[in-house]
Amino acid sequence: MRNMGPAWSLADIPYQEIDRSRLAGSEDWFGLLAASSFIEILSDLYARNLAEYYAGDAGVCAWLTGKWEAEEVQHGRALRRYVEHVWPDFDWERGFAGFRADYSPYCQTQFLGPTRALEMAARCVVETGTASFYTMVRDLAPEPVLAMIAGRIRADEIGHYKAFYRYYRQYQDHERNGRSRVARELWRRVAEVDSEDAYLGVRNACRIRYPDRPFGRTDFTAFRARIAAWMRKGYPFPMATRMLIKPLDLPPLVHRLAVPVLVGTARRLVALSG
């Protein structure tokens, strides 16, 4: 199969050149990167669920398991190796085992849908989130090897968005969901995006690294407020907004009017949470 498998490998990353001193003392970078490595590696569970959901569509299933899953899992491995270089005393396996146990119940086929087109639109929301997140990590990274890894991951996430968007269009041509239905589905997923996985990821990472400090909801709220300050500096709001509303297929003028309004709203929401 052509074009399958990741476009790069861990051998392309100069881990030996990492300047640990640039971020080894930052608990926030630790929590963010360790949690991201957990979430990315767990993509094999998602890929299986999605392939089950799209059973019968050979093209989608081949892409999901041959390309998408391989790339997402590689993102997790690349980040894991980075975390282990910078924080060598962190027991990644234990942290991940806790995360997997906590999070697996949320990864089930009954949470997908409600239709094949709308699930593709929802996947676009998720990839918008990851593409934007790694753009921020690349641009704010205090260390060049991290910036390089984030740049590679970002390019893959944009590729995933494009593929899911293409599949969305194909299903939508048949299903013809109305704009308001698509909008409701997009909004539902936006509200869900950072709900449980980020909390469980950061909590399991921090519990292992700081065993005598409990990590609960209030600690996570404080963590999120600190990350919101980073977002104000480095989150690509215009790019995220354009990607997010693309499945609505708004008339060009409406699209041009909507983007700045939504960007402003998103910035204000992040400012309020910080």
- Binding region for Fe ion (CB under 5 A): 40, 72, 75, 127, 130, 157, 160
User: Which is closer to Fe ion, CB of 12 or CB of 91?
Assistant: 12
The Cα 153–Cα 15 span in angstroms is 15
Q: How far is the CB of 60 from Fe ion (least distance, A)?
A: 15
Q: How far is the CB of 36 from Fe ion (least distance, A)?
A: 8
Buried b / exposed e over 66-78, threshold 16 CB at 10 Å, is ebbbbbbbbbbeb
User: Which is closer to Fe ion, CB of 167 or CB of 215?
Assistant: 167
Cα separations in angstroms, 116 against 108, 150, 151, 175, 182: 15, 30, 30, 9, 12
Q: How far is the CB of 52 from Fe ion (least distance, A)?
A: 19
Read off the tokens for 185: 């589905």
Helical spans, DSSP H, in the chain: 27-41, 43-53, 58-63, 69-86, 92-103, 116-140, 144-175, 179-193, 196-209, 217-234, 237-245, 252-273
User: Which is closer to Fe ion, CB of 138 or CB of 160?
Assistant: 160
Q: At what angle do helices 116-140 and 43-53 cross, to 10 degrees?
A: 160
Q: How far is the CB of 216 from Fe ion (least distance, A)?
A: 27
Q: How far is the CB of 241 from Fe ion (least distance, A)?
A: 19
User: Which is closer to Fe ion, CB of 40 or CB of 143?
Assistant: 40
Q: How far is the CB of 157 from Fe ion (least distance, A)?
A: 4
CB contact at 8 A, 201 and 39? yes
Q: How far is the CB of 213 from Fe ion (least distance, A)?
A: 29
Q: How far is the CB of 264 from Fe ion (least distance, A)?
A: 27
Read off the tokens for 57: 């569509």
The Cα 41–Cα 167 span in angstroms is 24
The Cα 136–Cα 237 span in angstroms is 10
User: Which is closer to Fe ion, CB of 71 or CB of 143?
Assistant: 71
CB contact at 8 A, 69 and 42? no
Cα torsion 155, 65, 74, 205 to 10°: value is: 110
User: Which is closer to Fe ion, CB of 130 or CB of 204?
Assistant: 130
User: Which is closer to Fe ion, CB of 160 or CB of 189?
Assistant: 160
User: Which is closer to Fe ion, CB of 140 or CB of 229?
Assistant: 140
